[in-house]
């Protein structure tokens, strides 16, 4: 199973991001979506789960939750915009992967039992940070993450 990770689009969905997410079985958006058209376009590629970011405060985002917990395949995933909002008990709740956004900095790291992934920002470039998306590849209970820098 191939899961696409995208965050911090801030109203800009680049064709390079769409191309990188093509063929995914599910897409997770880590917030700061920017406008509802982003969600519509991503849903055209695969089933989508998205969370609100700190900038998603207009009426169109009222139905989007701040946190999503889901199982894709056999892997528990916790999706939240800001890593400051990650609770301490996730491993005990059956979560293996945490996906965040907010910082615009792409990151893959292990913290205790949890794999933390921030796909970075796929929207407007911020400072000198790369424009990127991420992928989770799930095979049974095994999961690996990768970052994809977009050439924009």
Q: Give the pLDDT score at 126.
A: 86
> Please, are residues 32 and 126 in contact by the beta-carbon 8 Å criterion?
no
Nearest to 46 by CA among 65, 20, 83, 15: 20
pLDDT tens, 31-73?
Answer: 999 999 999 999 999 999 999 999 999 999 999 999 999 999 9
Mind listing the domains of the chain with CATH numbers?
2-149 (3.60.21.10)
Distance CA 87, CA 95 (A): 11
What are the φ and ψ backbone dihedral angles of 107, each rounded to 5 degrees?
A: -155, 135
**What residues does 110 pair with on adjacent strands?**
115
């Amino acid at each position: 199973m191939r899961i696409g990770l995208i965050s911090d689009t801030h109203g800009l969905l680049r064709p390079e991001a769409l191309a990188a997410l093509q063929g995914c079985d599910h897409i997770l958006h880590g917030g700061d979506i920017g406008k509802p058209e982003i969600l519509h376009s991503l849903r055209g590629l695969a089933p989508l789960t998205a969370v609100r970011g700190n900038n998603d405060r207009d009426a169109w985002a009222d139905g989007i939750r701040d946190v999503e917990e889901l199982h894709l395949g056999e892997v528990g995933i916790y999706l939240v915009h800001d890593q400051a909002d990650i609770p301490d008990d996730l491993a005990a709740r059956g979560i293996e992967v945490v996906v965040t956004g907010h910082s615009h900095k792409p990151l893959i790291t292990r913290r205790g039992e949890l794999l933390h992934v921030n796909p970075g920002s796929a929207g407007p470039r911020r400072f000198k940070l790369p424009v990127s998306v991420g992928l989770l590849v799930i095979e049974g209970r095994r999961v690996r993450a990768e970052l994809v820098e977009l050439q924009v």
